Amino acid sequence: MKLIPNLWYKLIAVATVGYVLVYGLLIDLPTDVGILDETIRNLFYHVPMWFGMSLILFAAWINSLMYLSRPNVKRDIYASELTNVGLLMGFCGLFTGMFWAYNTWGTPWTNDPKLNGVAAGMAMYGGYWLIQKSVVDFEKRARLSAVYNVFVFPLFVSLIYVMPKLSQFSIHPGSGESVNFKAYNQTQNMEFVFYPAVIGWALLFVWIAELRTRNQLLKFKKENEKILSNHIVS
Amino acid sequence: MKKYYLTILFLSIIQGLMAQNETSVLRSSGKIYVVIGVILIIFFLVVLYLVRLDRKITKLEQTES
C-alpha cells in the first residue's frame, strides 16, 4: 500500500497554493482601487478562506445528511472533523479580515452586516462544538450533532451571504449597495490567481481534515473493538 | 491535441501575469522576491510536516489492520 493515500489532490493543493503565494504578490494590479491600494492582494488570501470554509462546511453538511439517512461511524467522524477544519478556516478568515479592516477602515470591527452575521454564525457552530463535547454516549452524540448540523449550515449560509446581500448598507464588496470586486479588475489577470487560490486553499485544509479523520477513526477502532464486530463500521 | 490546449492555456496565463509595469510599488526595489522566498520556505516546511504526519498515520493504519 502507498504511504500517502489520495496523493493526487494533495499534489494539486500544494502546487496551486505555492503558485498563489508567488503570483499573488507578483501580478500587476488595477491602478485605481481607492483605499484598498496594494492590499487588494488580500483577495488571494483572505477571501479564499471564506470560500473554502463554505465548501468544507457544505461537505460536512452532506456527511451529516448521509449519517442521518444511514448511520455510520465514518460519516459522523467525517462531518465533525470537516466542521472543525472549516471553522479553523473561518477563524483564519476572521482574523485576517480584522487585520485588513484595521489597516483599511481604521477599526478591526465595523458594524457591517457581514461581520455581525459571521459572529452569530460562529456562535451557532459553537453550539455544535458543545454537543460534540458534552454528550458522552456515541450514538446519541452522533445523531444530535448531525441533526444540529443539518439545521445550522443553511442558517449560516443565509447569515453570511444572503443577509448582507439584502441589506441596505455594507462595506464588503458585492453586498448591499457596494460594488463587486469585478468592478476593480480592469487588468483582467486577478482571476488567474483568485480561482486557483480558492481551490488550492480549500484542498490544503481538506488534507488536514483527512488526517484528523483518519486519526479519529483509528482511535474509535481501538476503543470499540466489540462494536466493530457488529458491522457498525462498514 | 490535449497538450497544445494546455500549453496555450499556460502561455496565456503567464502572459496575463507578466504584463506588468515596472513602476509597481511592491516590485520597484526588487526585494519582494526575498519576501516570496521566506513565504515559500515556511510553506514548504508546513507541507513537509503534513507529509510526515500523513505517513505516520498510514503506518499506524497498516499495523492496526
A37-84 confidence digits (pLDDT tens): 778 888 899 999 999 999 999 999 999 999 999 999 999 999 999 999
Chain A residues whose CB is inside 8 A of the B31 CB are none
Q: Is the dihedral of CA A145, A149, A150, A152 positive or negative?
A: positive
Residue A232, domain member (yes or no): no
The mean pLDDT of A18-32, rounded to a whole number, is 83
Residue A229, domain member (yes or no): no
ipTM over 0.85: no
Q: Worst-scoring range by mean pLDDT, A105-109, B14-18, B38-42?
A: B14-18
CB–CB contact B54 A3 (8 Å): yes
Expressed in percent and rounded to 5, the helix, strand and coil fractions of chain A are 75, 0, 25
Distance from CA of B3 to the nearest CA of A (A): 18
Distance from CA of B55 to the nearest CA of A (A): 5
Domain residue ranges of chain B, discontinuous segments joined by +: 30-65
Closest C-alpha to B19, from A30, A94, A138:
A30
Q: Is the pLDDT of residue A229 over 90?
A: no
pLDDT of residue A231: 55
Sole residue written with cell 509597481: B24
Domain assignment of residue A159, given as a range: 8-224
pLDDT of residue B3: 62
Looking at per-residue confidence, does A175 or A209 come out higher?
A209
Residue A1, domain member (yes or no): no
Domain count within chain A: 1
DSSP string, chain B: -HHHHHHHHHHHHHHHHH---TT-TTTSSSTHHHHHHHHHHHHHHHHHHHHHHHHHHHHHHHHH-
